Structure 1
Amino acid sequence: MLNRFFRLAEHGTCVRTEVLAGLTSFLTMAYIIVVNPAILADAGMPFAGAAAATCLGAAMGSILIGLAANTPIALAPGMGLNAYFTYTVVNGMGLPWETALGCVFLSGLAMLLMTMGGLRQLIIAAIPPSLYAAIAAGIGLFIAFIGLHGAGIVVANPATTVALGDLATPSAGLAIFGLALTGALMVWRVRAAILIGILATTMLAWVLGEVVVKPVEYSVAALTSTAFRLDIPAALGLGGQGTGFALIEIIFIFLFVDLFDNVGTLVAVTQRAGLMTPEGRIPRLKRMLFADSAASMAGAVAGTSPVVNYIESASGVSAGGRTGLTAVVVGLLFLVALFAAPYAQAIPAAATAPALILVGAMMMAPLAKVDWHDPMTSIPAFLILVGIPLTFSISNGIAFGVIAYVALKLARGKLRRADWLMLLLAILFAARFLWLAE
């Protein structure tokens, strides 16, 4: 039944491989179960309710995209957007978190309407293949940097911005052990190399006493403390709460960042999985876009910040995941995690860091498709490649590349009528930078 529904044989995979891939993706994403509610708690939201909402949002989104689009991409509340939700919208602008959840819901609804109208698909189709390749590789550098920083191998430095960390620390040592083990297994073509590396490093961390679990009081019933608490009328500026312009700005930023982060992740993971068509298009794209829009709305109802496609899904793809069964397994594991969400910290960052670093390395392959001798394509591609990790934002990196691509076409006199959407995107990106600079 699973073979027929997910067309496993057609994609050159099997149930065992898909389950292992799902487990691998889940383990690299599991940090969100603790990190997301910790950030949302700073907005005054109950930790236990936010933890349950995080699991539920990830479960619903992952299962939905797996069943509807048959793709190995998992979803969960997005990093960056949760910080914007807490520190800018709630703490900075003084909005109640219930109103902020209403803004999240409305941004998801706007994405759903854009998908129904075909606008999101037009945006994705308008981006040239060379920029797609740079987006995929730039995200690879991004997640590798996250892994290196999480392991303490790369640290902040006021003089040089970043620097080499203390490799004698337990975290760095564990990560180096995981890198060596996982790399060796990958060289020997072991399909479960990433999963084995995560589990082996976690076990070693436990043996060395480097894992400290401090669970908080928690029950699944705590979900009710955030569920259905969103305030849509207030998010629309009704009832005298907030100013209309400020609320429009919040909804727009949620929409804008969510839109292009999701585009970048879809491109990167489908390229890594070899699922793109020979023309460089993503199959079943509309279903994927419907799924992530619906998941963001459902997450807001449950009580969490925007739910997005997760770039950590690339680790499951590297473990052999090729179909929606991988995503469904991730979703089911998040449902199980509802009963033990705070214990996710039992998997240390040092155990998942090697997976992120090595997956990031493998995501450099699309760069071979960029014509580096043609400045018209190489300059925008390079700006995306460095912009994503150095600004710590997928959408910022894409913005640099799109603006540069349009500017160079204008300078060369090669901008055509067919490029109208790229021109519009460049104008919107430039306006966004000016807006944020004020």
Structure 2
Amino acid sequence: MRIFLERYFEFSRLGTNWRTEVLAGVTTFLTMAYIVLVNPAILAQSGMPLPAVTAATCLSAALGSILMGVVARYPIALAPGMGLNAYFTYTVCIKMHIPWQTALGAVFLSGTVFLLLTAFGIRQLILRSIPQELYAAVACGIGLFIAFIGLTKAGLVVQSPVTLVQLGNIKDPTTALSLLGLGLMVALEIWKIKGSILIGVLTVTAAAWALGLTHWTRAGGGVQSLTATAFKLDIPGAFRVGLLEIVFVFFFVDLFDNLGTLVAVTKRAGLLAADHSIPRLNRILFADAAATVAGSLTGTSTVTSYVESTAGVAAGGRSGITAIVTGLLFLVAMVAAPFIGIVPSAATAPALILVGSMMLTTVTEIRWTEPLVAVPAFLTVILIPLTYSIANGLGFGIIAWAVLHLAAGKLSRRDWLLYLLAALFLVRFVYLSAS
């Protein structure tokens, strides 16, 4: 069996071994394990039961990562996506007043669309139609969105009747503790200590308890808690016309997340083909889509590939075994469900700020000296946090790209799908203005 597995995962060709792959899987888990704490904290604000969402987060991450490792054989781990969970909670459930059960139905539909479009090769076609600079801009915009949410949760940014927002009171214990937590996480990152975010969250949580800044009532957790969210999705409700845009956003943001992650991980691992294509792309996309469907059924937002997988690659991971090990550790992490309620906002806020800052690394991929690129990219980046909507930033970016290139006489038949997407977004904005 061992020889068969080594052949299936191509250990010899990739120059790897079991010890390296296992350690890489552990490294990836430690780097992204913060999602076990942060994702439930965000989704719980939509009204979802915290213990159930914690268990669903662990289970969906485990299923997605293991599926990616077995089917696609890549060292890419999956979990509920940052940015997408914020859109699910703050835009769909809170701003649009849509029940979380219906929002889960929209996630299920987007995952089903993923599967169908992957099977017919359309998803791959869409991936190739979006300019690389807009992918980078979306990542930056989502990073600012996540960081802004973290800043408000920390109390560092508060509402102002005059200037909309202003600096909060840094003497407030929660704000001060959040800043100390952020400093600790950054220091651990500088020292290259694995699991820096998780260590920071746990340390701030302990400090908050010691200072009497948080209180906790034990809640149920583990596998049994899944009954509160599993199969509670409202698919018929998600078929309403008003939710088509939500499915649309879940679909496209996941596309962007995946492309950036795939390029980052495969480049770092040296797994790109000679023509710069990604081998077994269909299998990667299938694993991602299936994980999203499974996540919606268990009770969490869209599951996507994590760029933190590059940490495992840096540790030597090259095969699907890395992802499988990460998935198995997420299964073990399900025991954290009964204790997740002890984590205060002062602990999760700095994690959101740091993760948001990390997502800004793609800003260097944008040609800021070229107006045809810079303006659409800027609109995408700035409108995502300022309108509190990933959909708005994404839509304006694509429309601006299409309009400017059309005005400059750089229309090309090969870009027909991009212009179709721009038209769909324009119809969306007109519809929202009329409603």
**Would you call these one fold, judging by a TM-score over 0.5?**
yes
User: 1:59 is matched with which residue: 56, 62, 73?
Assistant: 62
1:309 and 2:336 aligned: no
Shift of 1:335: 3.1
Structure 1 counterpart of 2:294, one-letter code: A
User: 2:383 is matched with which residue: 383, 387, 394?
Assistant: 387
Shift of 1:305: 5.2
Shift of 1:186: 3.4
1:162 and 2:149 aligned: no
User: 2:28 is matched with which residue: 21, 24, 27?
Assistant: 21
Q: Which structure 2 residues correspond to residues 171-250 of structure 1 after superposition, within 5 A? A: 171-217=174-220, 220-224=223-227, 226-228=229-231, 235=236, 247-249=239-241
Shift of 1:374: 1.4
Which residue is 1:238 aligned to? none
1:30 aligns to what SS in structure 2? helix
Partner Cα separation in structure 1 for residue 210 and residue 311 of structure 2? 28
Q: Is the 8 A contact 2:77 2:327 kept in 1?
A: no
Shift of 1:369: 2.8
Q: Is the 8 A contact 2:216 2:341 kept in 1?
A: yes
Q: Is the 8 A contact 2:45 2:89 kept in 1?
A: no
Partner Cα separation in structure 2 for residue 145 and residue 34 of structure 1? 16
Q: Which runs of 5+ in 2 are unaligned?
A: none
Q: After superposition, what is the alpha-carbon deviation per residue over 1:248-283, rounded to whole angstroms, capped at 9, x for unaligned?
A: 525633420111221232244446657375988666
Q: After superposition, what is the alpha-carbon deviation per residue over 1:316-350, rounded to whole angstroms, capped at 9, x for unaligned?
A: 64685766666555544543454442421333333
Aligned in 2, Cα 1:174/1:288: closer, same or farther, shift over 3 Å? farther
Structure 2 counterpart of 1:182, one-letter code: M
Shift of 1:309: 1.9
Q: Identity across aligned pairs (percent)?
A: 43
Q: After superposition, what is the alpha-carbon deviation per residue over 1:146-195, rounded to whole angstroms, capped at 9, x for unaligned?
A: 33223222223333222212111222222222232333343344455444
Shift of 1:393: 3.0
Q: After superposition, what is the alpha-carbon deviation per residue over 1:402-435, rounded to whole angstroms, capped at 9, x for unaligned?
A: 1100000111111111110110010011112222
User: 1:75 is matched with which residue: 75, 79, 104?
Assistant: 79
Aligned in 2, Cα 1:76/1:423: closer, same or farther, shift over 3 Å? same
Partner Cα separation in structure 2 for residue 3 and residue 348 of structure 1? 44
Partner Cα separation in structure 2 for residue 284 and residue 58 of structure 1? 21
2:34 aligns to what SS in structure 1? helix
Which residue is 1:239 aligned to? none
Q: After superposition, what is the alpha-carbon deviation per residue over 1:367-419, rounded to whole angstroms, capped at 9, x for unaligned?
A: 22322221111111111121222223333322111110000011111111111
Q: Is the 8 A contact 1:24 1:194 kept in 2?
A: yes
Q: Which moved more, 1:213-222 or 1:164-173?
A: 213-222
1:258 aligns to what SS in structure 2? helix
Which residue is 1:252 aligned to? 244
Q: How many residue pairs were aligned?
A: 416
Q: After superposition, what is the alpha-carbon deviation per residue over 1:130-151, rounded to whole angstroms, capped at 9, x for unaligned?
A: 2222223223322322332232
Q: Is the 8 A contact 1:134 1:384 kept in 2?
A: yes
User: 1:129 is matched with which residue: 123, 128, 132?
Assistant: 132
TM-score, length of structure 1 as denominator length: 0.79
1:429 and 2:433 aligned: no
Q: Which runs of 5+ in 1 are unaligned?
A: 236-241
Aligned in 2, Cα 1:350/1:72: closer, same or farther, shift over 3 Å? farther
Partner Cα separation in structure 2 for residue 30 and residue 161 of structure 1? 30
Aligned in 2, Cα 1:384/1:265: closer, same or farther, shift over 3 Å? same
Which residue is 2:255 aligned to? 263
Q: After superposition, what is the alpha-carbon deviation per residue over 1:7-44, rounded to whole angstroms, capped at 9, x for unaligned?
A: 68669x76435413313312244233354355244xxx
Q: Is the 8 A contact 1:138 1:388 kept in 2?
A: yes
Q: Is the 8 A contact 1:111 1:259 kept in 2?
A: yes
Shift of 1:71: 4.4
Q: Which moved more, 1:170-179 or 1:101-110?
A: 101-110
Which residue is 1:396 aligned to? 392
Which residue is 1:378 aligned to? 374
Partner Cα separation in structure 1 for residue 380 and residue 34 of structure 2? 28
Partner Cα separation in structure 1 for residue 40 and residue 10 of structure 2? 28
Q: Is the 8 A contact 1:26 1:330 kept in 2?
A: no
Q: Is the 8 A contact 2:143 2:359 kept in 1?
A: yes
Q: Which moved more, 1:195-204 or 1:132-141?
A: 195-204
Structure 2 counterpart of 1:76, one-letter code: P
Partner Cα separation in structure 1 for residue 22 and residue 119 of structure 2? 33
1:114 aligns to what SS in structure 2? helix
Shift of 1:284: 4.8
1:109 and 2:112 aligned: yes
Q: Is the 8 A contact 1:292 1:307 kept in 2?
A: no
2:86 aligns to what SS in structure 1? coil
Q: State the superposition RMSD in angstroms.
A: 3.8
Structure 1 counterpart of 2:38, one-letter code: Y
Aligned in 2, Cα 1:282/1:130: closer, same or farther, shift over 3 Å? farther
Which residue is 2:39 aligned to? 32
User: 2:362 is matched with which residue: 342, 358, 366?
Assistant: 366
Aligned in 2, Cα 1:203/1:16: closer, same or farther, shift over 3 Å? farther
Q: Is the 8 A contact 1:37 1:54 kept in 2?
A: no
Q: Is the 8 A contact 2:62 2:328 kept in 1?
A: yes
Structure 2 counterpart of 1:21, one-letter code: T
Q: Which moved more, 1:280-289 or 1:128-137?
A: 280-289
Q: Is the 8 A contact 2:366 2:373 kept in 1?
A: yes
Q: After superposition, what is the alpha-carbon deviation per residue over 1:345-366, rounded to whole angstroms, capped at 9, x for unaligned?
A: 3333333433443343343333
Shift of 1:58: 3.9
Which residue is 2:349 aligned to? 353
1:213 aligns to what SS in structure 2? coil
TM-score, length of structure 2 as denominator length: 0.79
Partner Cα separation in structure 2 for residue 162 and residue 409 of structure 1? 35
